[in-house]
Structures are given as structure tokens and as C-alpha cells.
Amino acid sequence: MHIRTPITLITGPLGSGKTTLLRHILATKAAKIAIVMNEFGEIAIDTKVIDGKNVRIAELGGGCVCCSLLGEFEAAVKEIIEKIDPDIIVVETTGVAEPEALAFNIQEALPQCRTDGIVSVADADGLVRFPEIGHTTGLQFESADILLLNKIDLVDRHQIEPLETKLREINPTAAIVRTERCQIDPELLFGIGRERKVAPPEYKHQPEFESFTFSSDKTFSHDSFERFADGLPASVHRAKGFVLFPDGAQLFNFVAGRWDLEPFETDRTDLVFIGKEIAAQKPAILRALDACAHPDNK
Amino acid sequence: MAIINDMRKISDTVWELPTNYKDGMRVPARIIATEKLVREMDKAVYQQISNVATLPGITRYALCMPDGHSGYGFPIGGVAAMDVHEGGVISPGGIGFDINCGMRLVITNLTVDDVQPRLKEIVDLLFQRVPAGVGSHGFLKISRDEFREIVEQGARWCVEHDYGSDEDLEVTEENGCISGADAAKISDRAIDRGHNQVGTLGSGNHYLEVQIARPEDVRDKELAAKFGITIPNQIVIMFHCGSRGFGHQVATDYLQVFLKVMESKYGIKVLDRELACAPFESPEGRDYFAAMKCGLNMSFANRQVILHRIREVFSEVFGRSAEDLGMRMIYDVAHNTAKLEKHDIDGKERKLLVHRKGATRAFGPGHEEVAPRYRDIGQPVIIGGSMETGSYLLVGTSSGAETFFSTAHGSGRTMSRTKARKQWHGKQLQRDLEARGIYIRSNSWAGLAEEAGAAYKDIDEVIEATELAGISKPVARFTPIGNVKG
């Protein structure tokens, strides 16, 4: 079964830290990543540049590539998949893009891909200095699954919470993560995709984040699992992994209350849960998962 | 709606947010529109226009035209005149990313009966010769060095290279070449993005249309005749495009420069970072002004090459020369600009930097900057509606001083692109339009859905508001029959 290539969109106003985040992802994420610059991006490119029809491709370290868009976005993504077949595509959108429109494009025009998530970088210092959130910036924050409240080291400690409240008003569902220089555990940003080919990633803790895993070789009931996913507590920001159902396995992807399932090839259930102080909820979540096992099961 | 209660009604078409509406407002903010249009505007417009009123050097009012809607920092439809001798600023957000996005209108001596039978052939060929879409490349092979010449010389470069005539330049704003453009002030990245885009439409709301002037839609016969619109159901061609990735890069480059110096060097505090600016009389401000003019010229050149392609296509299809087909350009107007202009403020002439973002300059009869051919009737104004509804030719009026001689530029969105995409399906829309006699070619169905007529304000209402407000006067309305969508 073909797995659709996940696309992650990175948005945020000029100077908020999008490029820093990209550099950080490349340095810390063990995967073959293709970065698509919707504009001519800022990542230093000192390697061989290949001019494709729709993209200009530059090889980066670790098998990753950086592509500048020359043609239509859709054509460029197709070309990248054909030529490079990355595990993950990360798109850096412009400071002025409406990210939801792009996500909609992916859904409509790129059946070989799925939007994995929209990550928006907010700059705490900028939010303090410029009291109003601009129109375009507002659209970017609104559509995010994960909002990085970046540059918190540049503002007073007591200013951070009001900023979170402000972001929460614009986007009540996104996971808001405080960062300095975009230092975020990349596991919080991405779905699992093809990572199962490599060893399960070692989870490094984001300061206030905790995680736990669940594994099983039982099959699960669809209905029970969906109810379980709907009922996950708000403290769970992120959950992902594979779930074995009677009719085959599915890739489960949960971000801040929103989730989806799609076909995936595996023979086990493996899930990871990430959230703020969720150790307390761990027993209840594991119990609830056990209860999802299909009745016909051993 | 609560918001309209905060506004003072000055007249049927002038609505004011007084300076006590928000801390820091230096002048009142005014929306020029009918009550209905004001009520339909998204709330962010009030925020944005009052933010603009806080900028240093702003003179008289921060203005929003009847087709206004929220944009990057300034509303689209925003007009702001800054006194450059009083610390007035220049702001990329007040000009827009697509520098000199504008309209061009061409007449023919053909009628709908001549064109209808060959419409598909014409539109298909236009679609082929005028590349559209996000990253489209032009057929013109231009080196980076030649491109530097183009951004300094504008449409004049094109005419010198046989893409048009001096007559075209005479009816282009600034004669197709604004002076003071300096290629040394633009980044290599901007050159990279722009050099292969001359002669391309681009994406978004950019388009090229074949339109009819129906006799019942000619509002002022005498004026229309002066423009050569004399034949019933005469065919005209209108197109809308700008400076493509080049202008976008110039704006992005200087927004970043301004964000760095605005507060630390010049002590300017703005409410929204999208309003990043610098004093006009500062090295950074001057540099951006010279770079922005390169964007203006790139766009004039782009439209000049497209005009040349249109003439080629029509003469190929009809086997007659463009002159023989009467393919004369009526005018070329810029939407997204900042220009130094002299305006009379309370009896005193002042030098103002007039930002027009999604607004058209509309000088009245007699103004020295109106092309000599039109000086007695006023500057032509070309306003494009959505692809489904229709477009207008108007002229500027002497009574437009209140808006620094500015008027609307289009019908203005009523919903975001995202929302429009969710609501309509591009392919279906194309079939519906074809059933209504409008043949469309597009690279992007999703993009087509963004431009659905119902995603825009009613063009007729917008035009009526500009007429009531005395800022422009309609000459003729045109109905589309063929469209190449960018």
C-alpha cells in the first residue's frame, strides 16, 4: 500500500524564526526531509544545485534537500516525490501566505500527499512590541495545529502568559509550545510517516512535556478506538502511531484534539502520547486502550 | 453592527473614525463608501485604517476606498498621504507586495459577432502565449543584466525592443517608466525571481479578459467616443497583473530592513508589525523608494510585453495586423504604488508621498500629470470586477481632492481565499460560466474557485459609491466573454 507523503507547513510572520526552526528540524530530525521554499529561502545553500523543471534542488547534509519553487506548487511537490522520495516534506510558506489555502490545495490536487500539520511560529518579543496582531499573521495563527511561542527569552517571564492567552483567543485548539530559538522536540511537530523503518526514536523531553508509549498485538474495535480518541484529555497535545484494526492497520495522528486515521502497513499497535504533565493520566489512558481491544480477540 | 456606531457619518459616502477612536491617531480615518458597503466590510478594516492614522507624517485622513478589505498591515483600498517634510514615512504595507499591480485596457474595432465564433481559439491561444500560474516563466529570454535595465527603464525598454510603440507609452501612467528607479537597491534574490517573469500574468486575482461594451452599458456616450468606444457590442481586452515575484521580493527585503531600524534608529512605534516603515527622508526609506520604483517599472514592462502578445494573437487569428484591428491601448493604471505628488492642503501646496494600495490614482481634467490626450476629460481609471460580473472604464474628477485624487481599484473581496475555495469547486465554476457564455482557461482550479464572483463585492455598487462620492465618473461597463485566469 502506498503511503502518502506527509507535508508540514511552516508559517509565521517575517522574522519570527521560521528559518531557525527549519535549521533545527534538519539538525535534529532523523528522516529524509525535503524542504520546499515557497519563496527563495534563507537556509545557506553551499552544495550542488540541480535545476529541475519546477524546483531548484540543493542537497543538504543527511540526505535532505532544499528546493526553491520555480513552477506551480503542485508540480514541484510531484517532482520532489519522484526525484527524491522524501519521508517528509516541509514547506516554508511566505510571511504573507494564507496557509489554509495551501493545505486545501494539497488536499485537492495532491492525492499522493497529506497535510501532516501546520506549524506557526509566533515571536514573543514581536507580540509584546507590536500590540496588534496583523491580518495576515492572524490568519496564520488561526490555522495552526501547533503554535510555537518563540523568543520567550527576549521578554519578561510575566509577559508570557498573557501572550498565550492572546494566541489562545485566536486559535483555541492549537498546542502552544514556548520555545527559545525554536528549540522544540521535532517529535512534537511531525507524524510518524515512514519512521518505523528506523529504530523507534528516543524521546527527549521538552521541559514541561511528558510522554509514554503503548504497544499491543491485539486488534482494536474501530468504534471503541474512535471514542477513545475523541475522549483523550486536553493535556494530551500529540499522539501518534499505528493501530491494528480487524480490516488492517491504520496510522493514527492526533494533534490537540483533532485526529485522523489512514491505512498503513504494520502488524502491531504502537502508540506514543505526548503532553503537559500527563503522567497522572497514563494509567487511565492505558486502561481505556485495553478496553478498545476487539471483542473477537484472544 | 456595533462598529458603525463608532463612526461619524460625514455624508452618505464618507464615514469617519475620529482621532479619539484609538490612542495615537494623528488624523481621523475615513471610509469612502455607501452605508451598505461600510457594513459589509470586514471588521479588520476599521482596525487597520485607524492603525494607519497613527503613522508619522500622515496628512488629513487615513482613507479607505469603497472596495476596501483587510490586507497586510494596511487595508487593500487604503490611501495614505505622508508629508515628507514632516517626518512622513514610507511603508511597504501601504503599497502592497505586488508593486504596481495594475490594469491595462485595449480597444479593437471588432464586435462580438466577429469574435464569438472564434472565441475559444483566441482564449486558448492567449492562454498559451501569456503564461499564467504561480511560477510561470515568460517566453522572453532576459539575462540578469538586461533585467536590471528593464527595472530602470520600464515599458520604454520594451518599446525599444519592438514590443509596442511610443503611442503605448503616451497612455501609460508615468509614460511607462518612472524616474529614480535604481537597480543597485534591489537584491540578487529579487533579480533571480523576476528575470524570467516578464510577459507573464501570474496567479491569484490576475487575469486577461475579452470583454464586450454593450450599447446599454455605455454610461457616457460622449466620453466613451473620446476613448474610441463607438461601435455597438465592441470588443475590448482588459488585463490585470503586476510585478510578480520581483515586487514581492523587493517588499519582503525592505520590510525586513525596516523592522530592524524602525524603532531602534528612528524611534517609530507602530501597533502592528505589518506596518513596518521608515522615514521617507532616511537612507533606508530612500533606498526602498528607489527599489520600489524598480518594481513599478518591471510591472509596466510586464504589461507592455503582454499587450504585444495580445496583439500577436488577435492578428494571427484574424489574419490582419493589430493596427488594422484597431488595437489601441486606452490606458494603463497602477494600483499598488507610492508616489511623490503635489497636493493643495488648506490652500498650501505640499509635497506628499501618496501610498495607494489597491487604489487607483484618479486625477481630474486639467491636471498636469494626465496624459495630454486625456487632459481635457480627466485621467482614465480602469476598474476590474470579478471574472463573472463585469468591469468599468471611468475618468477622474476635479472633486477628488478629498481622497488625494484616488478611487477604487476593483470590487474587493468579501471573503478570504480559503473560504472561497471551500465554497466553490473550480472545475464546476468553469462549466457554469461557460454555460453563461464566459469561456475560461486556468492553470489552477482551486485558484479559480478563489475568484468566484460571489467572493467579491458587487462591482456596480462599488462604482456607484465612487460616483456618489465624486471621486470618479463611469464611462462604460464591460461584460466578460473570455478569460485567462492567472
pLDDT tens-place string over residues B11-32? 999 999 999 999 999 999 999 9
CB contact under 8 A, B51 and A69: no
Give me the active site residues of B, please.
Answer: 409
Q: If DSSP codes are grouped into helix, strand and coil, which group holds residue A65?
A: strand
From the list B192, B273, B421, the residue facing A134 with the nearest CB is: B273
Residues belonging to chain A with any Cβ–Cβ distance to chain B shorter than 8 Å: 13-15, 39-40, 54, 69-73, 76, 94-96, 98, 100-101, 104-105, 108-109, 126, 129-139, 143
**pLDDT on residue A68:** 56
Query: Mean pLDDT across the stretch A101-113?
Result: 74
Phi, psi of B155 (to 5 degrees): -65, -20
pLDDT tens-place string over residues A123-162? 999 999 888 888 888 888 988 888 999 999 999 999 999 9
From the list A70, A73, A98, the residue facing B416 with the nearest CB is: A98
**pLDDT on residue B224:** 98
Q: Mean pLDDT check: name the lowest of A138-147, A258-267, B340-349, B392-401.
A: A258-267
ipTM: 0.71
Say which CATH topology domain B102-256+273-338+367-485 has.
tRNA-splicing ligase RtcB (3.90.1860)
Q: To 5 degrees, how large is the angle CA B472–CA B475–CA B479?
A: 115
Domain ranges of chain B: 2-92+339-359, 102-256+273-338+367-485
Spatial CA neighbour of A99 closest among B75, B443, B133, B417: B417
Q: What is the pTM of this model?
A: 0.81
From the list A104, A109, A135, the residue facing B274 with the nearest CB is: A135
Above 80 in pLDDT, residue A210?
no
Q: Domains in chain A, please, with CATH?
A: 5-188 (3.40.50.300), 208-290 (3.30.1220.10)
Query: Mean pLDDT across the stretch A73-94?
Result: 82
**pLDDT on residue A253:** 76
Spatial CA neighbour of B213 closest among B416, B481, B448: B481
Residue predicted with more confidence, B386 or B4: B386
Q: Are B232 and B53 in contact (CB under 8 A)?
A: no
Residue from A53, A108, A135 to probe the interface with B (highest B Cβ count within 10 Å):
A135
Q: Are A18 and A90 in contact (CB under 8 A)?
A: no
Q: How far apart are CA B217 and CA B289, in angstroms?
A: 40
CB contact under 8 A, A130 and B273: yes
CA B63 vs CA A77, B26, B84: distances in Å = 42, 13, 18
Q: Report yes or no: B468 at the A interface, CB cutoff 8 Å.
A: no
**pLDDT on residue A200:** 34
Q: Mean pLDDT check: name the lowest of A100-109, A190-199, A225-234, B60-69.
A: A190-199
CB contact under 8 A, A96 and B97: yes
Above 80 in pLDDT, residue A203?
no
Q: Report yes or no: B274 at the A interface, CB cutoff 8 Å.
A: yes
pLDDT tens-place string over residues B125-153? 999 999 876 656 677 888 999 999 999 99
- Cα four-point dihedral sign A151, A157, A159, A165: positive
pLDDT band at B284 (very low <50, low <70, confident <90, very high): very high
CB contact under 8 A, A132 and B252: no
pLDDT tens-place string over residues A227-278? 999 888 888 877 877 888 988 888 887 776 777 777 777 777 888 887 777 8
Q: Looking at the DSSP assignment, which residues form a beta bridge with residue A114?
A: A6
**pLDDT on residue B366:** 96
Choose from A105-109, A141-145, A264-268, B259-263 the range with maximum mean pLDDT: B259-263
**pLDDT on residue A205:** 42
Packing angle between helix B144-153 and helix B283-318, nearest 10 degrees?
100
Q: End-to-end alpha-carbon separation of chain B, Å?
A: 36
Output B14-20 pairs: Cβ under 8 A, ≥24 positions apart.
Answer: B14/B402, B14/B469, B16/B61, B17/B46, B17/B49, B17/B50, B17/B53, B19/B53
Average of per-residue pLDDT values in chain A: 77
Above 80 in pLDDT, residue B195?
yes
Q: Which residues of B touch A69 (CB under 8 A)?
A: 134-135
pLDDT band at A61 (very low <50, low <70, confident <90, very high): low
Q: Are B69 and B414 in contact (CB under 8 A)?
A: yes
Nearest-Cα distance to chain B for A94, in Å, is 9
**pLDDT on residue A44:** 42
